Amino acid sequence: YFILGMSHEQGHLAQIENVITQAKAARAA
């Protein structure tokens, strides 16, 4: 359960960073 939880958490953080990257790209465009 702990490993699955960590994997899920990392996926969630990656999703957030992806959104931030897109937002920065949109702002720079």
| Digit-coded pLDDT (tens) for 1-29 | 566 776 777 778 889 999 999 999 999 98
Greatest alpha-carbon pair distance for the chain in Å reads 42
Whole-angstrom Cα distance, residue 8 to residue 26?
27
Q: Residue 10: what pLDDT?
A: 78
**Which of the 8 DSSP states describes residue 8?**
H
Q: Residue 2: what pLDDT?
A: 64
Whole-angstrom Cα distance, residue 7 to residue 3?
6
Q: Residue 9: what pLDDT?
A: 78
This prediction's pTM = 0.58
